Structure 1
Amino acid sequence: MSKVEYMPVDCLQVPKMLFQVEKFKNLSNTAKILYSLFLDRLKFAVQNGWVDHNGDLFVIYPKSEMKKDLNTTRYGVDQAVQELVKIGKLVRIVQNNGKANHFYINDIYENEMEEESMMTLDRIMANMPMEEREIIMDKMVAASRDILGTIADMGYLDEYETPLTPMEERGYYDEEGNLDIDAVEADGYEFGMDLAFGVLSVCEGKPEHVLEIQKYVNEQYECCSNKKFMKVLETIARMNGNEEVYIEDMYACNKEARNYYLSELMMCFNFVFNEMCHGTGSAAGCDFNSEEE
């Protein structure tokens, strides 16, 4: 490519320290890319009004967009976020009254300097006699209690202690706190797909069993309440050996979300059998229409 032909490309900047510092090496590549995407969004925090009352910048990044940007599942997104929070300590999540979470992004260089400072303290205390070490620990505990007491008096403690609801954990609410139907249906679609292929795998070579299960599931969907129908799906999922996360997602849905989730699940479940299996035999290893011939 000549200089004349070259056009600048908007690139994502990935910190080299994620690959050089020992504690960050254990992060998955998905988590490293996600952290870089957080940093990229942070550049527009002021422009978007992502500034709290203390003047600290945060990022709003719906999980539905993370899934699209990373080309992964919701489970993959959750895993990457948890890695950044727990392993790398690079991201802090603050609940926003039922609306989209605020992600506070820690500076990777400051994070490393604080870590080194703590390591220095650990080395000093390791060389102390046990009695002196206990005196220091008592002072640290007392100081921590004073700090927590002050935070509680200011009225901020509840903000950090309030656990997220199962719906919020899965990103089933949009930035305005409304039900994110696309996110709910996307997870229902994934479960429906996994459930159908699980049945095909368990019943390989037995098309009559596959069709019986499909018929039974549809009958239960029509005549049972959503709660009873979910028990039916759970039983089949456990028979198939489907991942536990699908069952957890299903039960996390509230009454409103449940209708969208199950409707999309059944659409995908039937699609696999009706469009991909019947008459082809490719998925179950035999011809579903052999009797008609």
Structure 2
Amino acid sequence: MLDGKAWRALVAGYGPPMITVNGVSVPKSEVEWTDAEEQAFVGNARALNAIFNGVDLDVFKLINSCSTAKEAWKTLEVAYEGTSKVKISRLQLITSKFEALRMTEDESVSNYNKRVLEIANESLLLDEKIPDSKIVRKVLRSLPRKFDMKVTTIEEAHDITTLKLDEFFGSLLTFEMATTDRESKKGKRIAFKSTHVSEEADCDTEANMDESIALLTKQFTNSLRNLKSPNATGMNVQTSNLYRRRNDNAPTRRNNENSDRRSDDYLKKKEGDKKIFRCIENVEELVTIRQNVPHS
């Protein structure tokens, strides 16, 4: 641990005690050092040793020739921060990044907090601290629209100039959690409603299929009843007898006409049979589909 003497050697620098001999300054012999001069030497040695032990071998090569802690420290500053001009350029870049900060719609408060603090720490490393009030105002201006209500509440309930960062981001995080919870519950209600509507649609489809089967069954039954009715049978018999009597006396031309008519009646009957068979097939097909429909 560095004590006060080591820190003074780092900040103010250290030079070996000197004496003037024949008008020329020469280093004083160690045996002639005063207690204060000896303490200053020890402080510089401790600070320089701490710097040497705090860097890796590659960095040590940059400062191994330094004789004072202040000299070693300045060498490291130039290596990692650059000269004053480079430092100013880096600060300008950091300022631009800070001004361009925006929280995206799908970004969490925790992640945005991390990005903001990273830029603030970069500026602090260059000896340029961004005030907390400036960070708070920047974040309030860069939040998505879903935080508008919370921004208004913070501006009305708090003094922005004295609001701490941890308290500020904690308030935003609480609001985000509450909003996420409400949206999750809303999504569950919508999903339940969609499932209910789908079940009703399935029931309607099943009912329509039942009605279609019943209608075709009714038509099929009526067709069979018409074929088996006595009137239809008697009419066929009478028509046959009439044709038989006419065949006894009618000329050949009439016989041919009657034959053609009988052929037409046969074809009509055959066509009716085909319709009945198609009706049967439709009923069977609907019954098969009805059996394969999953029941809720």
TM-score range, shorter chain: under 0.3
Which of structures 1 and 2 has the larger relative contact order (alpha carbons within 8 angstroms, sep 6+)?
Answer: 1
More helix by share: 2
Structure index of larger Rg: 2
